[in-house]
Amino acid sequence: MQRAEGYLEPIVPEYDNFVIMARKEDKIPATLRSFAVLEALVQAERPASLTDIVAACKLPKPTVYRMLAMLESAGLVARDPGAARYTPGPRLATLGLGIMQNASLSSARHAILAQLVEQIGETCNFTMLHGGEVMYLDRVEAAWPLRMNLTSGSRVPLHCTASGKLLLAYLSKSARDRLLDNISYTRYTNSTIPDRRSLEAELARIRKARHATDNEEFHAGLVCVAVPTRSPGGRPCAAIAVHAPMSRMPLGRALEYLPLLRKAAEAMETTFETSN
């Protein structure tokens, strides 16, 4: 293999037909350079071009190009079909989910939810976006005989749940549009938002209010209120919500618990700092 000027020997053996080369002036270990590329993709608000990633990582363009090829072959990076832009790959998404569900951290998060349930007296959950749906990372049930059977790993739709609408509302416009283009807008109840135009108007209201509600939109007789939890960088990345039957907790009463929900969200954010 011919060596480009200014490069040393490959620092790792050939990997799926790609070779990582180290520049003489580059003092950053190869592993950390790869991590910088992945971090840039995760933090990008839209699919990132090679130029975008080079600017974010402050690494030479040939180095970033080879790293993207290697990471793509490993499933950590995905390239948009028909476009020279990159997004986090399925393997990276699975890794991120595993971190969120890590046992050493989930116990602290479960304790935060348990305390919130004790204060409110109704079921609370912790959710995030995953694969175009809302996925439950954790859930603590209230001690009532009438309740929904949703466990960690359960998934619910975006357009008719408080957490789903909240997380949609805080996405970048390009990411939000991609999801809105593929939502089926299934009618679960008479109150389900029926179309994209109505949902976009609802999302604008959510961004202004900084919370979302589900007023019998997913299940008749069930209401929910959700608030965002933010990453160390300040971006909403998950949600904490309370839900209950209207017979026990009308929506107006549920909204009275917003201060407690926001306080729990702040406590949850400290667990993100621990994991980084």
Task: Out of 55, 89, 123, pick the residue that ends a domain.
Answer: 89
18 pLDDT band, cuts 50/70/90, is very low
Please tell me the predicted confidence (pLDDT) of residue 29: 65
Segment of 24-28, 171-175, 216-220 carrying the highest mean pLDDT: 216-220
Same-domain status, 81 and 110: no
The range of the structural domain enclosing residue 129 comes to: 101-274
Domain holding 186: CATH number? 3.30.450.40
- pLDDT beyond 80 at 86: no
Task: Out of 68, 89, 110, pick the residue that ends a domain.
Answer: 89
* Residues linked to residue 15 through DSSP beta bridges, in sequence order: 18
d(CA 94, CA 99): 9
Q: What dihedral angle (degrees, nearest 10) is formed by the CA atoms of 134, 138, 141, 146? A: 20
Helix-helix angle 162-169:196-209, to 10 degrees: 80
140, part of any domain: yes
d(CA 219, CA 149): 13
Same-domain status, 85 and 154: no
Please tell me the predicted confidence (pLDDT) of residue 146: 56
Task: Out of 122-136, 138-152, 178-192, pick the least confident.
Answer: 138-152
Same-domain status, 115 and 251: yes
121, part of any domain: yes
Domain holding 61: CATH number? 1.10.10.10
Same-domain status, 73 and 128: no
96, part of any domain: no
Alpha helices, DSSP H, located in the chain: 30-43, 50-57, 61-73, 90-100, 103-120, 162-169, 173-180, 196-209, 251-255, 258-274
Task: Out of 40, 65, 89, pick the residue that ends a domain.
Answer: 89
Same-domain status, 189 and 265: yes
Structure tokens, 66: 């080879």
Please tell me the predicted confidence (pLDDT) of residue 2: 41
Secondary structure class of 127 (helix, strand, coil): strand
Cα 215 to the chain's mean position, in Å? 24
d(CA 275, CA 126): 16
Q: Note the pLDDT tens digit of each residue in 49-81.
A: 888 888 888 888 888 888 888 877 777 777 776
Percent of the chain scoring above 90 in pLDDT: 38
d(CA 28, CA 7): 14
